[in-house]
């Protein structure tokens, strides 16, 4: 199975800060990577698909990049409503696996 490693596991930033999360795959997954946001007690929500495509209705402050084994997720200007845990997920082949999550908090 492909292992997905996210970094950091948690971070604290101020409103307006640029936030970056990285996700590394244990093998080449081309651009077969998605990013999700999960708020406490809620289901995950798809934000980015195919590594860099913004899901419809998702604010443009969210973005993704990368290919192969190294990927980046960015919030250009952190907002209070962005407090959540963020997960990467590959779909190169089954089983699809997720990163362990990055918890984002407001400083």
Contact residues for another protein (CB under 8 A)?
32, 34, 36, 38, 42-46, 49-50, 53, 55, 87, 89, 91, 94-101
Tokens for 87, please give them: 């997960």
As measured in angstroms, the least distance from the Cβ of 28 to another protein is: 16
Residue number with CB closer to another protein (17 or 55):
55
As measured in angstroms, the least distance from the Cβ of 54 to another protein is: 13
As measured in angstroms, the least distance from the Cβ of 106 to another protein is: 21
The number of beta carbons lying within 10 Å of the beta carbon of residue 1 is: 11
As measured in angstroms, the least distance from the Cβ of 107 to another protein is: 23
Rounded distance between C-alpha atoms, residue 102 and residue 8, angstroms: 6
CB crowding 10-29: b at 16 or more within 10 Å, else e: ebebeeeeebebbbbbeeeb
Residue number with CB closer to another protein (17 or 68):
68
Note whether 98 and 46 are within 8 A (CB). Answer: no
Residue number with CB closer to another protein (66 or 89):
89
């Amino acid at each position: 199975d492909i292992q997905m490693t996210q970094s950091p596991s948690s971070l604290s930033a101020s409103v307006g800060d640029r936030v970056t999360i990285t996700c590394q795959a244990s093998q080449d997954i081309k651009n077969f990577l998605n990013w999700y946001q999960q708020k406490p007690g809620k289901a995950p929500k798809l934000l980015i698909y195919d590594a860099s495509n913004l899901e419809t209705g998702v604010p443009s402050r969210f973005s993704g990049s990368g290919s192969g084994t190294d990927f980046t997720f960015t919030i250009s200007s952190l907002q209070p409503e962005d407090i959540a845990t963020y997960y990467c997920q590959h779909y190169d082949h089954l089983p699809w696996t997720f990163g362990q999550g990055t918890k984002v908090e407001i400083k």
